[in-house]
Structure 1
Amino acid sequence: MTSSIKRLTASICLFASMLIAPQALAEDGYSQAKSTFKQAKQTHKFFDSAYGYALFPTVGKGGIGIGAAYGKGRVYRGGSYKGDTSLTQVSFGFQLGGQAYSEIIFFKDEAAYKDFTSGSFEFGAQASAVAINIGANAQAGTTGNSAGAGKTAAKAAYINGMAVFTVAKGGLMFEAALAGQSFTFEEK
């Protein structure tokens, strides 16, 4: 990333943090985020069988035309903390507002884990995530996952060895933008 894009990303994230409820930003605990994801029925099979996962307690996202997101996380393998990761995202298109959310990425096997922890990894714009709404027991998915409420659950599956889930924490954002997420990894 060029330095001007990095400065723009930092400015947009600062703007997003001002729009997001302070309460959402204060809840930056890894155990709380993990507990939240474990409450969702859709993630049970992933916690039980995944080779590992990356957990981001708080990702801040915001934009006015050009958007950005940033979050720090940890990578786990076999339940053990293995290193730190960061998520950055720059998007272009119609978008307005700011929000905070938690994200977890499950790795199906060693190959997916190694891809992610290679030092620099990126999801394309077609990457899929299942958004979980714990309070209303409703789920909505992007690009191929079904949406449902009540007894109907989103169909979550590994795509290219990874499954991604998000839970909204606060804020409001309107967007119709394509964006990929980029990740870095530093072994502990």
Structure 2
Amino acid sequence: MHRMVGSSRRMVFLACALWALTLSASTAFAATGAEIDQAVDRTLTSFRNIDGAAEFLEIAKGVLVFPKVYKAGIGVGGEYGEGALRVGGKTVDYYSTAAASIGFQLGAQAKSIVVIFTSEAALDQFRASEGWKVGVDGSVALIDLGIGRSLDTNSIQDPVIGFVFGQQGLMYNLTLEGSKFTKLYKN
């Protein structure tokens, strides 16, 4: 029994240490606006390579892009990334995304997130918020596709649509639920 309690304490300590490291690294290595814009350009180029993605970008009223969202965890996990909101192809604001999770997890990974606002009302609500939390302040229809399928703007009509992808394309079984998007102030 004593050994289990000690082991549990070590796991909690390691999880807290990892979370603190993730948070401190995110602030210590915060990117400049120009660096974020360059990464957003590269991410949008990769996103356009997904069949049907360009059609969504054409109907978008605004596009929120997080080029790299890093997730790490040992039992308790956290993720963080910085990105930009583009309206009419131009950056209008910079944002961070952060989320915490509990459950079996070990290791680290990086992903890219693109959130497309297809209605002015949804975009205006997002921009007016101090911190927009997925599932609380608004919902995001997360798109994941099986192999051989492509995106179709006719069958997906939601006002806020999210895409999570990596080097191999769109990722499966992921969620944005609980992710918080917060405006950053960059030069």
Identify the TM-score tier after normalising by the shorter chain.
Answer: 0.5 to 0.7
**Which 4+ runs in 1 deviate beyond 2 A?**
5-15, 124-130, 152-159, 175-179
CA distance in 1, matches of 2:18, 2:176: 18
1:129 to 138, 142, 165: 142
1:119 has 2:130 as partner: yes
Aligned residues: 151
Shift of 1:115: 2.2
1:44 has 2:49 as partner: no
Q: Check whether the contact 1:58–1:103 (CA below 8 A) recurs between aligned residues.
A: yes
Identical counterparts, % of pairs: 29
Aligned to 1:165: 163
- For the aligned residue pairs, the C-alpha RMSD in angstroms reads 3.3
Q: Check whether the contact 1:73–1:85 (CA below 8 A) recurs between aligned residues.
A: yes
CA distance in 1, matches of 2:100, 2:74: 12
Q: Check whether the contact 1:56–1:71 (CA below 8 A) recurs between aligned residues.
A: yes
Q: Which has the higher strand share?
A: 1
TM value normalised by structure 2: 0.68
Shift of 1:29: 1.7
Change (3 A) 1:176 1:164: closer
1:153 has 2:150 as partner: yes
TM value normalised by structure 1: 0.67
1:79 has 2:92 as partner: no
One-letter amino acid of the structure 2 residue matched with residue 84 of structure 1: Y
Q: Check whether the contact 1:54–1:105 (CA below 8 A) recurs between aligned residues.
A: yes
Q: Check whether the contact 1:59–1:71 (CA below 8 A) recurs between aligned residues.
A: yes
Change (3 A) 1:36 1:51: same
Change (3 A) 1:96 1:61: same
1:99 has 2:112 as partner: no
Q: Which has the higher helix share?
A: 2
Q: Which runs of 5+ in 1 are unaligned?
A: 16-27, 131-140, 142-146
